[in-house]
Amino acid sequence: MGNEVRVRYAPSPTGYLHIGNARTALFNYLFARNQGGKFIIRIEDTDQSRNVEGGVENQLDYLKWLGMDWDESIDKEGEYGPYTQMERLDIYTEHTKELLNKELAYKCYCTEDELEAEREAQRARGEMPRYSGKCRHLTEDQREKLEAEGREPSIRFAVPRDKEYSFDDVVKDRVSFESNGIGDFVIVKKNGIPTYNYAVALDDHHMKISHVLRGDDHISNTPKQLMIYEAFGFEPPKFGHMTLIVNDQKKKLSKRDKSIVQYIEQYHDLGFLPEALFNFVTLLGWSPKGEEELFTKEQLIEIFDPERLSTSPAVFDSQKLYWMNNQYIKQASLDRVVELTLPHLVEAGRFPLEMTADQKEWAQELIALYQEQLHYGREIVELTELFFKQEIQYNEEAMTVLNEEQIPEVMQGFLEQLKEVEEFEPAAIKSAIKATQKATGHKGKKLFMPIRVATTGETHGPELPQAIALLGREAVNARLNQVLAMSKA
């Protein structure tokens, strides 16, 4: 097989790029780049009935968005193509003929009804359902008779009996299976399309894949693939099976679990930064040395070691992801944060698609006000809601503040000081607040909290002078007068 590290990510176009599949791709990518090897993307499209339109494009587009590139695939030809399985049918057919000629595989004429009846009978006897092998020793006459009935055969692999299949797993160490627990499995369906375990073993061999890093749910497939390798005298790759991703209740991450955003496209649409997601996904089941958690792609490539893949399930912590994305947003340029957030404000109807220079400037200042606390792009819509309200409905917490006895004096005092402000900008507004303190004698929370609540409707938020400046003189005066009128009622 040679010493070059060659790994693959092999999605089926039966769905879009899921967080679990992205992690598989990411670990293979990091390992290949760390070792100076090759990262290959192969499309496993043999399950034609389940393939979804745009599935391949979605996988490739969002792997690129996350920051991955590859050395060979459908869009980057190498010497081991084609890179879609349906274009490799002639390769599988030739190998199937070889297995049949060597009597290492055989034609099975059982119908689905017959197979289900066999499984039901086995369950009734308390046995693990598996194919009995009744077509394994059919004579030529029996096969001809069945074909004369119009039966189309599938091809089954003749599983060796009384044999142990073992391999050293990168994550799990030594893993062993007894062949007697595995029934003769189908390698080619009745329609002539190869099954997963058969095609993947042949593809990995012919593409010279050196290491197979994949999810824990594939471990039961490994002995079947080892049997295929053995039948042809091929050297198997080195296997590593990553533990499952679980939710905060320690349950396997299910695509039906709506408490977690699970598709990479959704994170893109919500306004997450790809490098933050790259960093977060890398830490799902892999850990670096030390306590540091924030890394660039280049740093992760340099330190990635598959020996540090976890043996425990990886817990998907949404709050940690929000925290991590916030760290990246805080470090990003304002232009990039505007690019991340402004489309969401436009979509929400807060700004027109075509903006004037003044609107663009105001939008940029508004977004800058929230950059420090922003967890993802779409959150800007909720955070900035107070700037687009014609009238504030004060909640119970706000009313507790506005019912304090000093409110009329603070509201009137601040209104008077704002009249003296010529340029309605943060420094002048800050001076007006200080002047209100001097004139009224109220300070600290007794001063700042009423002004914040009266002008924004909130008890906490961004820098107060900046927020008041962005609200504008007219809106601020209207809100202060509204509170003043309420306090005198």
3-state SS assignment for residue 199: helix
Q: How many helices (H) and strands (E) does the chain have?
A: 20, 11
Angle between helix 445-456 and helix 473-488 axes, rounded to 10 deg: 110
Known catalytic residue at 255: yes
Active-site residue (options: 102, 134, 251, 255): 255
| Residue (of 352, 372, 374) closest to 363 by Cα position | 352
Positive or negative: CA dihedral 151, 157, 158, 159: negative
Cβ contacts of 271 within 8 Å, gap of 6 or more? 340, 341, 344, 376, 377, 378, 379, 380
What is the C-alpha to C-alpha distance for residues 193 and 416, in angstroms, rounded to an integer? 82
What is the C-alpha to C-alpha distance for residues 469 and 428, in angstroms, rounded to an integer? 9
Which H or E run includes 317? none
What is the C-alpha to C-alpha distance for residues 385 and 388, in angstroms, rounded to an integer? 6
What is the C-alpha to C-alpha distance for residues 261 and 321, in angstroms, rounded to an integer? 11
Positive or negative: CA dihedral 252, 256, 261, 265: positive
What is the C-alpha to C-alpha distance for residues 350 and 285, in angstroms, rounded to an integer? 41
326, 332, 335, 339: CA torsion to nearest 10: -50
CB 276 within 8 A of CB 324: yes
Place of tokens 């992690």: 23
φ/ψ of residue 469, rounded to 5: -60, -40
Which of the residues are catalytic?
255
